[in-house]
Amino acid sequence: MIKEGIQASSGIAIAQAVVYVKQELTAEKKSIDDVQGECGRFSQAVEKSKQQLATLKEKTASEMSEEEAAIFDAHSMFLEDPEFVGAIEQSIKNDHINAEAATQAAVDQFYAMFQAMDDPYFKGRAADIQDVGNRLLRNLMGIEIMDISHLDHDVILVAKDLAPSDTATMDKVHVKGFATDVGSRTSHTAIMARSLEIPAVLGLEDITETTKNGEILIVDGITGSVIVDPTEEELKAYQQKKEKYDAYMAELAKLRDQEAVTTDGHKVKVVANIGNPKDVDGVVRNGGKGIGLYRSEFLYMNSDEMPDENKQFAAYKTVIEQFKDGDGVIIRTLDIGGDKKLPYLPLEDEMNPFLGLRAIRLCLSKPDLFKTQLRAILRASAFGKTRIMFPMIGNVDEVRQAKAILKTCMQELDAEGVDYDHQIEVGIMVEIPSAAITADIISDEVAFFSIGTNDLCQYTLAVDRMNQNVSYLYDPLHPAILRLVQNVIVQSHKKAGKFTGMCGEMAGDPVATLILLGLGLDEFSMSASSIPQVKKIIRSVSYKQAQEIANKAMTMSTGKEIRQYVQDTLNQLGIEVM
């Protein structure tokens, strides 16, 4: 039986299924006389839960990253929260009910409250309170959860969804793939699967019901399908597909230390996008020699309070030092607003947050917040090649204002005698059509452009990048996008020493590589795992060929036509992409 889901992490896994269904916890309501004793039992469950969370945090921090481990701090915080814990104790005392029922009632109440919020951050807390509540209930009831931390054979983990505590504790040697009922490409499980390089297909709706424990499962993370109980022929075909994929990846791995250079010697940079310092491991493993986009907002989003200058400095410095002999690091200043919120920075609700007080607009309206970050970046620049990039620039005034604030920070550091790179380069992200169209004007103020196609597409094509209903219109190969990209590159090259990079998802899309190369893009920045494939394509053609391909694509009328043309060209050139 073949089931189609969401392709979340590439590769093929074939193994026995472990259906990881967590026991339903039903908190039966009982009246109690010994209020004191019941409160004591509840306190013990809280303590035990805290200890478990501390262990989980430690394991995650050492096996993954501090950022990933932070989720357990968020869970622990609920156990310290007087409103949550107090509500349970109060209902034990006042209503004379057992701790299980009191806990369930408080969890339900908090869950409903978070669920009702519009803000995606607080909505997300609903899942956390449920996770914490289940832990408390299990500890009160003495129920052990199925142990996936020590497995004796390879498995595909089949689950409704996987909580952070599941991925943290699971046996990372024997879990070969994920197949889940719910999830999206940006869900926690998807992010984890990609960072662990485990093939994953999510959103299969009822995979937990259609799969039995021990049944053989094939997870095809290349196409986003899962085969339950495959036939002999299917098994054979997928074993071959897996071997081919593994061989393809092994072949690509050989390019690790090769340059991204065309057959006639035109060199470009192929670098990586990261969200936190731990991502650097994957970049190095995939042969990335620099960072073209450090999404600094993750540092803010993974924190319970505004990260101070020293905390930011430490994070930036860690990354910068690792690439000081390579292509350096481009740090994007805080890109918050739109769909990204900070719990400790209340912002006014807006009708159209993506067109609202976002990114540089927000930073310019809060100079103190902005200065803290700029000072931290400047201080870190003393430790290796660093560039600063402002997001969501719409006009040259914003660049000038941001640079003026940067200058103030430099003067402050000079007065304090603090070292930094006085020649630090400043660039902007081109995400708004007005910036792309006026690249000739803006180029006087910046050292480089980096095209953020994720937003540039949504603003140019008037297509919400997160709206499924209009996703068919979201096309980075739309002639309008290609023309904007071309204009930015051409304008930057008119000024000596200036360059254009791209850090939107398009930069890592193999179908776009030849066109972007031919248009003269200088730097391709992408998720680490895409680096080898893009490098391979670049190394397979001459710059002249790429220019011809780009020129031809620029004459075409639709994205569909262009896509077909590039795919045919890749086939003709014998360049295999997976």
> Which is nearer to ligand PEP, 134 or 453 (by Cβ)?
453
Helix or strand (DSSP H, E) at 127: helix 120-141
Q: In the complex, what is the shortest distance from the CB of residue 340 to Mg ion, in angstroms, rounded to a whole number?
A: 10
Should residue 461 be labelled a site residue for ligand PEP when binding is judged by CB under 6 A?
A: no
Interface of this chain with ligand PEP, residues 215 to 234, rule: CB under 6 A: none
Alpha-carbon span 434 to 446, nearest angstrom:
16
CB 402 within 8 A of CB 390: yes
Considering the candidates 363, 409, 457, 503, report the single residue annotated as catalytic. 503
Residue 363 annotated in active site: no
Between 425 and 455, name the residue whose CB sits nearer to Mg ion. 455
Instruction: Decide: is 431 part of the binding site for ligand PEP (CB under 6 A).
Output: yes
3-state secondary structure of 287: coil
Tell whether residue 452 is a contact of Mg ion (CB under 5 A): yes
If the CB atoms of residues 12 and 342 are measured against ligand PEP, the closer one turns out to be 342
Smaller CB separation from Mg ion, 284 or 437: 437
- For the segment 416-435, give every residue that binds Mg ion (CB under 5 A): 431
Instruction: Single out the segment in contact with ligand PEP by CB under 6 A; choices: 66-74, 82-90, 449-457, 467-475.
Output: 449-457
195 binds, among Mg ion, ligand PEP, none (CB under 5 to 8 A by kind): none
Write each residue from 286 to 305 as x if it is in contact with ligand PEP (CB under 6 A), else as -, in one continuous string.
-------x-x----------
Catalytic residue from among 188, 363, 409, 478 = 188
Measured between alpha carbons, how far is 501 from 120 in angstroms, rounded to an integer? 31
Cross-strand pairs, 12: 220
- Secondary structure of 379-432 as H, E, C letters: HHHHHCCEEEEECCCCCHHHHHHHHHHHHHHHHHHHHHCCCCCCCCEEEEEECC
Report the residue count for the chain.
Answer: 578
What separation in angstroms does the CA of 449 have from each of 101, 176, 335, 410, 497?
58, 40, 16, 22, 12
Q: How many residues bind Mg ion (CB under 5 A)?
A: 3
453 is in the binding site of which of Mg ion, ligand PEP, none (Cβ under 5 to 8 A by kind)?
Answer: ligand PEP
Site for ligand PEP contains 504 (CB under 6 A) = yes
Does 292 contact Mg ion by CB under 5 A?
Answer: no
Select from 31-39, 378-386, 450-458, 565-573 the region that touches ligand PEP (CB under 6 A): 450-458
Residue ranges in 13-65 assigned as alpha helix (H) = 35-63
Which of 132, 148, 162 has its CA nearest to residue 52? 132
Nearer to Mg ion, 67 or 455 (CB): 455
| Residue 503 among the catalytic residues | yes
**DSSP structure class, residue 473:** G
Distance (Å, whole) CA 249 – CA 229: 27
Q: Which residues are at the interface with Mg ion (CB under 5 A)?
A: 431, 452, 455
Q: Catalytic residue numbers?
A: 188, 503
